[in-house]
Structure 1
Amino acid sequence: MFALTATLAVPSGAVAAAVSPASAPASADARIAGLDLDTMTVLDLQQAMDSHRLSSTELTVFYLARIKVLNPTLHAVIQTNRDALNEAAASDVHRLLTGHGSGPLDGIPVLLKDNIGFGQTTDGSEALLGDQPAEAFVAQKLQAAGAVIIGKGNLSEWTDFRSTHATSGWSAVGGLTANPYVLDHNTCGSSSGPAVAAAADLATVTIGTETDGSIMCPSGLNGVVGFKPTLGEVSRTGVIPISAAQDTPGPITRNVTDAAAVESVIAAADPNDPATAGTVAHDYTKGLDPHALAGKRIGVWLDPSIQGDPGAATTAVFNQAVAALTAQGATAVPVTLPDLSTVADDEPPALANEFKYSINRYLAATPGQHPADLAGVIAFNNADAATELRYFDQNIFDFAQTTPGDPNDPTYSALRQTATSAAQGSIDGTLAAQNLDAIVAPTNAPAWISDFATGDTNTFGSARPAAVAGYPSVTVPMGFVGPLPVGLSFIGTKGSDASLLAMAYAFEQQTHARKAPTYLAH
């Protein structure tokens, strides 16, 4: 059983009064019992708990207190779990009786993005404040592994699929999430809250979701590791959907070890999600090797005509990252991914049609007081325009409503087939032509200043090919442009999850590029 409290979120009916947070937090120290939580892995924490230097209860109390201090500035957490301390105590009792934890996540506080079914699940929208969803399969796997679900993370409302004029990181329920490095800058989305919570030590690890960049972009902008697994490795059951052709949950963490540990728990076959039928249990932490880049051939992808221009400063950091790869024995091969204009043209209308189908099915199957379908959500937003439409419109919703909402519609199924095939062919063809083990690219340019008047102003991104293909990608901190972090993405083919994590780990261990947030006001 669980119970959530929303006392830490923006009150229902309220929105962020201003884009810029008022001030930096009073304390950013993340130490407990002489341990620096910001630099520890979940494996380190297991050793600390096994040796009785730390308990899950103490760890959970620390994070809940830290959320109270930092969340009024960061708006990263929508709700906390009132049963978290009971879950932590149960883990401590189990450890006391057995002498050890039951796995790498036993007793570890985890934050879930608020589109993952666990208690009240709003997707950031006031339209879903009365829902009563079933518990997501991912949440069940985490609890079975002994993890302590500490709460729910803020996000770009409706997972950033409501308006082309949106400001990422804002939701009517949670307000505007602040970048912990420079508080008036954006977090990207839609997994903004989980990425900020990981960066600011509001939980040990977090779970985000991605359809098209929603794990990769916020992880890069907030200086953390984000892993988007191969489509079908992690179940979507109980997750508020956009498209079964691209949706996947995945870990957002401060280091690659933790991402591998989380993925080892949540990647599992789910009879209610046919895409996961081939998933088998795998301990991704065993494949982490600081020498994993030796002998690898790595495609270096930086094409401003396709990705947008990351700017000279980001390019300089990327060049240094490529130099670090070669210093570890990798061979860098410049590449350009073909056919991405086809992906860019055909993905959006396909997603709109799939979203209408998926959200209508989700709303129909979810108990509680909420709109019955997409048309009802649109009507709710129009009626609640002072809150829901205060900063930007719902033109994506409006367009999706005009589609058949039928995944078998010939026009839209052809768009999906073309987009997915082009993305897969672009990656696979490039890997094969150059005999590559992976492709790297900058994950992001530095964060931009949040401005509701203009919406998001970012023009650079590298997440789309892997997202549309359903292929894995992982971003790891690669350095800073001024005070703002930028990430390095590793992109691979279907099923190369373990290999990508190993290469990202080797890069991380070579560079140690991540630094804790600075909480600068501007």
Structure 2
Amino acid sequence: MHRRNFLKTGSIAGITLSALSINGCTAVPEKKPVDTPEAYNFELNEATIDELQQKMKDGKYTSRAITQLYLDRIHNIDKNGPKLNAVIELNPDVLSIADAMDNERKSGKIRGPLHGIPVLLKDNINTKDKIATTAGSLALVDNYIGKDAFIINRLREAGAVILGKTNLSEWANFRSTRACSGWSSKGGQTKCPYILDRNPSGSSAGTGSAVSANLCVIGIGTETDGSVVSPSSVNGIVGIKPTVGLLSRSGIIPISKTQDTAGPMARTVTDAAILLGILAGIDPEDAYAPKDNSKIQPDYAKFLDANGLQGKRLGIEKTAFTGNPDMEALLQNAITVLKSKGATIIDVELVKELKPIGTDEFTVLLYEFKDGLNKYLGTANSKVKSLADVMAFNKANEAKAMPFFKQEIMDQAQAKGDLNSKEYIDAVAKTTGITRKAIDKIMGDNKLDAIIAPTNGFACTIDLVNGDYDNGFGFSTPAAMAGYPHITVPMGAAHGLPIGLSFVSTAYKEADIIKLAYAYEQASKKRVIPEFKIDLLS
């Protein structure tokens, strides 16, 4: 949940408190802090899935060697040096998993494009490895599941190496209206790798920061409203929020059954598309999953087309031109690129039309958070078994669990009834139903292939005392409330701070917007490697 976008639409509505569980990976050698720009050089900088596969095929690297390089990188960059604090826990079995993949390769078995590729996961996704699933909360440090989430089972079957888990805004940013994105009581505050006093955005802050800083090849985040696309945007990477249900939510700590989804986060559209195809699948336990395979593409990378913008009609969100002038300049440049590749741009207005139902979205999330979390905790391997237990733990351990902001959103959720409540049923009809109709109508009336806009404004500064502030624009909410697909790709940067360009369409149109985003990416080439600046003036 990207709480700042939510609060805006609802009015359309390094500190570490506990030692990071990173010492379980004994293969990581002790490193001295990184203190020179030269030390940021990394032999796998900007490496892609295809490049690493080729290097393993040629015998230059093994999966173990690649994994060890990323472990060293995490130790140098994440825990020393700039101290991004993006990784909350490493997998103690990671090198043995890499060895197993190497042994399979030697025997001639290659599972697919992710065979032997290290992946980082947001710490609200269950894994059977010796890693807790905590949502960043001290209340869940004992939550060792012993069973993979559905999407992690698919990831493992594809031969991926589970490197570890990333920090997040605690409870996916659904605890307090005054929260600072990227902070959790277990993991502390994650930083933006471009400028270290800037917020990496929530709630998939750790995954966004880690992927951008080359701590892994690819990562997985989750989104309720903005939490894949927003951290992808401000960390200068690609993020895909798929149609709700395309990726199973089983085994993921929930906020909303109508809006939650996991999503790929990568440095290129190609890698994000590859990961999406691996994760997508029909899960009988997820009521929102497609009923058959007709909605699912096993390979989204086959839709990559550098000429994919030719003849396409794109609706540009008009309210994006009333914000930060630096953002507007980047958007105008993006429009020029889009037109040069054959796209037609049409002005549309969606955000203002949806403003009145922002408070209904919050109502839906309060009800669904309570219901979903109680069901998850009821079968979890933790002493806390309900939302009420979590709140009681936080109050009993307030100095460590709630040192900067409290839990008033949890208080509001706990006060709600069940999902048969008329208030809830009416709110769902307004959010999901009205938003889908609005997007469908704009798309149909204008014969559009997608709606585009800046994903959000530039990263705000980290402020643990006052919490997040409005950064001027956000375009996550329409697709989030509709449950529709949304991809963001780097659009450029101002003052060293990147932002993304969003492409949104209707249900199960992932292939269409991936094609558009790839064509824009290839024509613009706006991804820039982070420099780990201390502040805006350095």
The answer to whether TM tops 0.5 is yes
Partner of 1:348: 362
Distance, in Å, in 1 between the alignment partners of 2:458 and 2:353 is 27
2:507 to 485, 490, 494: 494
**Once superposed, what is the RMSD of the aligned Cα atoms?**
1.9
Q: Deviations over 1:391-444 (max 9, x none)?
A: 11211001111100x222111111011111121112111101100000110012
Who is 2:29 aligned against? Answer: none
Give the Cα separation in 1 of the matches to 2:322 and 2:174: 24
Distance 2:481 2:36 in 1: 38
Determine if contact 1:342/1:422 at 8 Å carries over to the other structure.
no
Aligned to 2:100: 90
Identity, in percent, stands at 43
* Match in the other structure for 2:466: 454
Secondary structure, aligned partner of 1:57: helix
User: Matches of 2:363 and 2:380 in 1, distance apart?
Assistant: 26
Aligned counterparts of 1:203 and 1:449: Cα–Cα separation in 2: 25
TM-score, normalisation: structure 1: 0.92
Which residue number corresponds to residue 472 of structure 1? 485
1:104 corresponds to: 113
- Residue 148 of structure 1, CA deviation: 0.1
Aligned counterpart, 1:76: 86
Q: Report SS of the residue matched to 2:55.
A: helix
Partner residue in 2 for 1:17: none
1:377 to 390, 393, 398: 390
TM-score (norm 2): 0.90
**In the alignment, what sits opposite 1:363?**
377
Distance 1:518 1:391 in 2: 29
Which residue number in structure 1 is paired with residue 18 of structure 2?
12
Cα deviation digits, residues 98-146 of structure 1 (max 9, x gap): 1x63211110000000000013101000000111323211111111000
User: Which residue pairs with 2:134 in the alignment?
Assistant: 122
Name the SS for the 2:514 alignment partner: helix
Quick check: 1:222 aligned with 2:235?
Answer: yes
Per the TM alignment, residue 485 of structure 1 is displaced from its structure 2 partner at its CA by 0.5
> Aligned residue for 1:50?
57
Per-residue displacement from partner, 1:19-51 (whole Å, max 9, x unpaired)? xx99787722221xxxxx333321222122111
User: Residue type matched to 1:12 in 2?
Assistant: S
CA deviations over 1:249-270 (Å, ceiling 9, x no partner): 0101000000000001000011
Report what 1:416 is aligned to: 428
Displacement of 1:63 after TM fit?
A: 0.3
In the aligned structure 1, how far is the partner of 2:97 from the partner of 2:271? 20
The amino acid of 1:443's aligned partner reads T
Q: Shift of the alpha carbon at 1:274?
A: 2.5
Give, in angstroms, the shift of residue 92 of structure 1. 1.2
Greater shift in the superposed pair: 274-283 or 326-335: 274-283
State the number of aligned residues: 498
Within 2, Cα distance between the matches of 1:350 and 1:387?
A: 30
Q: Where in structure 1 are there 5+ consecutive unaligned residues? A: 1-7, 15-20, 32-36
Does residue 276 (structure 1) correspond to residue 289 (structure 2)? The answer is yes
Superposed, 1:196-235 pairs within 5 Å as: 196-235=209-248
Q: What are the Cα deviations for residues 126-185 of structure 1, in whole angstroms up to 9, with x where unaligned? A: 000111323211111111000000000000000000011110000011110010000001
| 122-131 vs 452-461, greater mean Cα deviation | 452-461
Q: For 2:118 and 2:318, locate their aligned partners in 1 and report how far apart those are by CA, in whole Å.
A: 37
Give the Cα separation in 1 of the matches to 2:177 and 2:382: 29
Residues 46 and 214, structure 2, Cα contact 8 Å, conserved in 1: no
Q: Is the 8 A contact 1:9 1:78 kept in 2?
A: no
TM superposition shift of 1:345 = 2.1
Equivalence for 1:61? 68
- Gapped regions of structure 2 (runs ≥ 5): 1-13, 21-32
Any conservation in 2 of the 1:30–1:38 contact (CA below 8 Å)?
A: yes
In 2: Cα distance, 1:178 partner to 1:333 partner: 37
The corresponding residue for 2:190 is 177
Alpha-carbon shift at residue 342 of structure 1 (Å)? 3.1
CA distance in 2, matches of 1:9, 1:144: 37
